[in-house]
Amino acid sequence: MSGKLKEKIGNGFCHLYLTILSIIAAFPLLWVLLSSVKSSRDLTSNPTSIFPKEFTLDHFRNVIETLGFTKNIANSLIIALCTTVIAIVISSLAAYGIVRFFPKFGNIMSRALVTTYMFPPILLAIPYTLVMAKMGLTNTRIGLVIVYLSFSVPYAVWMLIGFFKTVPIGIEEAARVDGANKMVIFVRIVLPLVAPGIVATAIYTFINAWNEFLYSLILINSTDLMTVSVALRSLQGAEILDWGSMMAASTLVVIPSVIFFMFIQKYIAGGMTEGSVK
Amino acid sequence: MKTKKIDYGRWLLVLPALIVVGMLLVYPIFSSLYYSLTSKHLIKATYDFVGLGNYQSVLTDPNFYKAFITSILWTVASLLGQIFVGFTAALALNRVKRLKGVYRILMIIPWAFPSIVIALSWKWILNGVSGFLPNVLYKSGLAAELPQFLSSSSLVFGTLIFINVWFGAPMIMVNVLSALQTIPQDQYEAAQIDGASKLQQFLYITVPHIKVVVGLLVVLRTIWVFNNFDIIYLITGGGPANATTTVPIYAYNMGWGTKLLGRSSAVTVLLLAFLLIVCFIYFKIIGKWEKEDK
């Protein structure tokens, strides 16, 4: 009897706690979205009213037409897509190779990949700046794609190891008995089995490249080539802070990330813990 | 003959990744080590070998120590907050039956935020003139005047840590939750029959099962928070009056502000050395845990 009551109170407390956390977690997104459609007057004179008194798309118009934000979106899109494709191809091969052919070194390799996680980005930024300048790749999208591989490949390999480990070796052996060669086994049997994991990893890689800031700040200084993160930051530099436009631009940047993230959230956790510990 | 062929094949699979790691991670470490011993300047073409001179200037600069202490405080406070919120949220999520998916989706939103949007959204919400939160606090009488969360030197550090907890807790939550779900339920049932209390079940079943995963997560988060540049740089730029200057910000200002890349390299090498020591200690602990498990 008292046990049941305790259980109920406990559950109620959990719901209350989770509700509060959800509100705190989601509030900034809500606020960015709402602020992007409020009039400038509304933004400054009614800071505590939640819903817009006058709904307007002026800020979006300003961001896209006057500030030319679409070209920054295109830059980020191209860079993030190229990074993702290259990183996923390289990492899938490596992760499969590690899981199937280097079982002994698998753990060492996993540890080595975790180690790369501790390199301070600011440490890498200095050599990257100098090397890219030497190779004439400063202010180019290619330069940024190359640099982005530094964080996307180790991460993708690490996550994919977890997914490839779930493929039972028996299936591959059966296929080999049937006369399939290695290439066929990999492409037609293994890949389809880990496809959800690869898609999740690809989306995560894409989001990380889309969201990246430091390297893009250091390696790109022409407005035409800026990624969304750096272009958005440069809006802050203006004399008068136009919060409406900044929130409209933020909306354009954050929405793809949030939507993609919702699709892959289940896979990420599994992949990370699988790849890291077992 | 046939085995040889297989050998090449397996190396071919991992080679591209090894090349990327070598070129983009190993090479930069050594070149940073080298530049840290030179007077390399961001713009000037020539530079000299100066031995340990850069390290000497960094290690005698009081601002470096201040940044180091700020980094430690920033890391410890952020991490404790992230772990506490992430862990308790995971436990709560693991317990409730209804609305689980909704909570989960709402709570991971911060993780998807690009750092620039984290910065802009919070700067707008906390803005000292027309920001939402200061005005709510002021109008409701909870604050005598509009609180200056980001420009008052007594509030800014705590505010940044709050933002970092907001950003980092979801990742801890998701990972702890997935670790919790791997615990076989029958162990709890058996414990219940034996009359173990909830607390005992938590200490003797839950904790041992997830401690390795959580330990690893703590290592990764420590490093990540310690190295974090974007959030602080974009929100406060290290100010006001250096109150939020951590080592990465200090290194950035030295390299791109005063253009002393050699000295900046020395700072980053010291940063890496410190992280290596911390990781070594962590991995020793986790290794011990893993052995205990077996």
Interface predicted TM-score (ipTM): 0.91
DSSP-assigned letter for residue B239: -
**Rounded Cα gap, residues A259 and A248, in angstroms:** 17
pLDDT of residue B82: 96
pLDDT of residue A2: 67
Residues of A in contact with B197 (CB under 8 A): none
Q: Do A126 and B264 touch (CB under 8 A)?
A: yes
pLDDT of residue A276: 46
Q: Which of B120, B151, B228 to mutate to test the interface with A (most CBs of A within 10 A)?
A: B120
Whether A264 shows a pLDDT value over 90: the answer reads no
Residues of A in contact with B99 (CB under 8 A): 15, 18
Residues of A in contact with B110 (CB under 8 A): 25, 28
SS3 content of chain A, % helix, strand, coil (to 5): 80, 0, 20
> Residue B234 is nearest to which of A120, A157, A233, comparing CB atoms?
A233
Question: Which tokens hold the place of A154?
Answer: 């180790």
B25 contacts chain A (CB < 8 A): yes
Mean pLDDT of chain A: 88
pLDDT level of residue A239 (50, 70, 90 thresholds): low
Q: Do A122 and B251 touch (CB under 8 A)?
A: yes
> Residue A149 is nearest to which of B20, B115, B119, comparing CB atoms?
B20
For the residues of B193-237, what is the DSSP string, one character each?
HTT--HHHHIIIIIHHHHHHHHHHHHHHHHHHHHH--HHHHHHTT
DSSP-assigned letter for residue B144: S
> Residue A269 is nearest to which of B95, B178, B227, comparing CB atoms?
B178
pLDDT of residue A236: 78
Q: Do A101 and B102 touch (CB under 8 A)?
A: no
**CB count, 10 Å around CB of A139?**
16
pLDDT of residue B294: 65
Higher pLDDT, A270 or B102: B102
Whether the full predicted model's pTM is greater than 0.90, yes or no, is yes
**Rounded Cα gap, residues A228 and A210, in angstroms:** 8
- As a whole-number percent, the residues of chain A with pLDDT over 70 amount to 94
**Rounded Cα gap, residues B89 and B106, in angstroms:** 12
Q: Do A130 and B261 touch (CB under 8 A)?
A: yes
Nearest one of B90, B74, B83 to B169, comparing CA atoms: B83
pLDDT digit string (tens) for chain B, length 294 residues: 444 455 677 888 889 998 998 899 889 999 999 999 999 999 888 899 999 999 999 999 999 999 999 999 999 999 999 999 999 999 999 999 889 989 999 999 999 999 999 999 999 999 998 999 999 999 999 998 999 999 898 899 999 999 999 999 999 999 899 889 888 888 888 988 888 888 888 889 888 888 888 888 888 889 999 999 999 999 999 888 889 999 999 999 999 999 999 999 999 999 999 998 988 888 888 888 888 776
DSSP-assigned letter for residue B143: S
Task: Identify the weakest region by mean pLDDT among A13-17, A40-44, A170-174, A246-250.
Answer: A170-174
Residues of B in contact with A185 (CB under 8 A): none
Query: What are the residues whose beta carbons fall under 8 Å from the beta carbon of B215, sequence distance 6 or more?
Result: B282, B285, B286, B289
Task: Give the Å distances, CA to CA, from A20 to B66, B76, B101, B106.
Answer: 36, 24, 15, 11
